[in-house]
Copies of this chain bind each other. A is one copy, B any other.
């Protein structure tokens, strides 16, 4: 990723303020709980020609994560303005850009306001993954499928800054010669990728696992399911087993910066890539106007 534009929020004043900064400027204190504890939340919205995609879904998920982590409720009007300010500055970019927006719990011990910013950046080109497909491995996430219900302090389903495990899982995938990961619960339920939502097509129906498993509501997956509904293609939210994945007609990992990326191998086993369906899904995503 290449940073292009940075807007800092001041959440300590009524209504908040937004100021523009050089994206390479150091703005964060070493005792910010975002860096000392991963104690904060984030979203990444794709941006096409200056327009943030699925912005309302990202804002809603941002507020959901804040609630799950007992953070102050974000002023979504202010955050929307910050994201739009960053996105607008990237309107002349032909390639896919994105805005990452972050809110941390602020300075440790200071009872301070949250720290917040929106960083616009040039995303990696999603075309190769969409065209060639991904080699994916299954990795244990270690939790039962029901921990979001039994043990909410494990923050499963919150998009927190504490993503070290997600990065470690991707390193494990590389070690195994793969590109990406699908996490499984310790009791065998198919969950999500470290930064993506899984969609499987089985018997002509597009299926994604339910958020009750402690996974994120997928913003890109949400738009895909809306597009499918418009085209009269059946979809549903349902649990999936490893065997479901092995016998699925096609699989995709979906995210804001990669769109719908087909899976071409799963633990080394070939998965059929449906290029035509993939192109349709991504054409729909690219046609979004916000």
Contact = CB atoms under 8 A, between A and B. Distances in A.
Given A153-B172, A162-B163, A26 B23 contact: no
A1 interface: yes
Contacts of A142: 142-144, 147, 151, 154, 156
Interface stretch (A36-44, A221-229, A240-248, A249-257): A36-44
Contacts of A165: 153-155, 162
Contacts of A30: 6, 23, 27-28, 102, 117, 119
Nearest to A31: B3
A136 interface: no
B38 A162 contact: yes
A154 B164 CA distance: 9
Interface in A1-40: 1-3, 6, 23-40
A69 interface: yes
A167 interface: yes
Interface in A126-156: 139-144, 147, 150-156
Contacts of A139: 151, 153
A140 B104 CA distance: 25
Interface in A167-182: 167-169, 171-172
B164 A164 contact: no
A196 to B, nearest CB: 15
B168 A38 contact: no
A2 B37 CA distance: 17
A78 interface: no
Contacts of A162: 38, 161-165
A80 interface: no
Given A1-B108, A144-B142, A161 B6 contact: no
B37 A164 contact: yes
9 contacts: A37-B38, A69-B168, A139-B151, A142-B142, A143-B186, A152-B172, A153-B169, A155-B165, A161-B162
Given A27-B28, A37-B164, A162-B163, 19 more contacts: A2-B109, A27-B29, A30-B102, A33-B167, A35-B161, A36-B161, A37-B163, A37-B167, A38-B161, A70-B171, A140-B147, A140-B151, A141-B154, A143-B186, A144-B186, A153-B168, A153-B171, A154-B165, A162-B165
